[in-house]
Amino acid sequence: MSLDSLAWLAVIPALGLLILVHELGHFLVALKMGIKVEEFGIGYPPRMLTLFERNGVKYTLNWLPLGGFVRMTGEEGNFAAEGSLAAAPPWKRIAVISAGVIMNMLTAMVLFAIIFAVWGKAEPVENQVVISAVQDAAETAGIEPGDRIVSMNDQPINSVEDVRPIVQNSIDKEITIVVEREGVLQTFKVKPQPLSTEPGGPPRLGIHYGPGVKVEHVNPLVAIWEGILESFRVLGRMVVGFGALLGGLFGLTQVPEGGIAGPVGIARITGEAARSGLRVYLSLTALLSVNLALINILPIPALDGSRIVFALIEWVRKGRRIAPEKEAFIHAIGMLVLLGLILLVTISDIGNAISGQPALP
C-alpha cells in the first residue's frame, strides 16, 4: 500500500484540530462565565484514561482521534441545577455558545498569517492558467505542477473558463497541450479518460489548475493583518456560495460547482491537499475552519446558531424562555435530520470515489 493511498488520513489532524479548538472556546468561556463544566475530553469516547481532575473538571483522553468535547451541566438534562448552562442568563449562554465559532475564525486567521509569513502572499495574475497538480493521463504524458498552459488544441488559454469546454468536447480524442516550463514551451498530447464506464460520461484530463499567481513576501505584522482580512474574505465568499446553493435548490440560481461534501468527500479533498504540499494543506485547513464557523452559526436545530436563537428569544421576552425540555427535543430532532443528510451525502461521496470522479472539481 503506497503512502499516496493513505493521504486521506490527513483529514484526521486537520478536522481534529478544528473541532478541538472549537470545543476549547466553549470550555474556556464557560469557566469564565461560571458555568459548571464536568469534563473536557481530547478525542471522542470511549475513554482511554483520565489525565487529571482539577476544580471539579475531569480532563480525559479518549480513543477516537476526532477533536474533542466539553460536557457542561444542564446541556442534556438536569436543566435547573446550580451552575448549569440552561439556568444561566441568556447573555452568558450566548457568550459560551458563540465562543466555538469565534475560535474557528481565530484559527483561520492564525493559519493564513502563518502561510503569508512563511510562503508569502499570492496575488492572481491576469491571462495565466497554471497547473497545480497532475494525475492519470496528464501525469503519464509528462505534464508537471507549475506548468503554465499556453494553448489547448491551438486555442489560447487566458483564463480557467477556457479549459473546461475544450476538455468536455474532447472525450476519446487527444488534446494537444502547449505549456511553458521555466521559460521553455513544451507540447504534450493527452487523451482524456471517462470518469465512469457509462457512455457519454464527463471526461477527466487529470489536471488541477487555477489562475497564475505572483508571490509577495511580507513581514510578520503584515502577514497577521492579511490573515485577518483573508479570513473575512473567505467567509464572505462562502456566504455568497451558500446563498447560491440555496437558490439552486429552489431553481432560482445556478447550483455552484462542487456541491456539498460529506466526511468522505472532505477526506478525499484533504488527501489531495496533503499530496500538494504543506502550504496547500494548511490553506485547506484554514478554509475548513471558516466553513465550520459558518455552518455552526446557522440557525439550524442542534447547531450553535439555533441555541443562540433560543437564548435571544428569552432575552427579548425578558426572561420568559421556551422550556429547556422542549428546546432539547427540538435540537434532538435537528440532530437526527442532520445525521440523515450527512448519510445521504456520504453515500454520494462514496459513489463518486468508486466511479473515479476527482475529489476536487
Closest CA to 208 of 254, 160, 176, 250: 160
Residue for cell digits 479549459? 163
Output the nine-digit C-alpha cell for 21. Answer: 479548538
Asked if 177 and 101 touch (Cβ cutoff 8 Å), the reply is no
**SS3 per residue for 286-317:** HHHHHHHHHHHHCCCCCCHHHHHHHHHHHHHC
Q: Can you tell me the distance from the alpha carbon of 85 to that of 20, in angstroms, rounded to the nearest whole number?
A: 20
Output the nine-digit C-alpha cell for 350. Answer: 462514496
Q: Exposed, middle or buried: residue 154 (CB in 10 Å: 0-12, 13-18, 19+)?
A: exposed
Asked if 120 and 215 touch (Cβ cutoff 8 Å), the reply is yes
Question: If DSSP codes are grouped into helix, strand and coil, which group holds residue 180?
Answer: strand
Residue for cell digits 460536557? 71
Asked if 67 and 20 touch (Cβ cutoff 8 Å), the reply is yes
Q: Is 23 one of the catalytic residues?
A: yes
CA angle, residues 36, 37, 43, in degrees to nearest 5: 170
Output the nine-digit C-alpha cell for 42. Answer: 481530547
Q: Can you tell me the distance from the alpha carbon of 224 to that of 305, in angstroms, rounded to the nearest whole number?
A: 28
Q: Can you tell me the distance from the alpha carbon of 28 to that of 42, in angstroms, rounded to the nearest whole number?
A: 14
Asked if 288 and 266 touch (Cβ cutoff 8 Å), the reply is yes
CA angle, residues 57, 60, 66, in degrees to nearest 5: 125
- Catalytic residue from among 23, 75, 226, 272: 23
Catalytic residues: 23
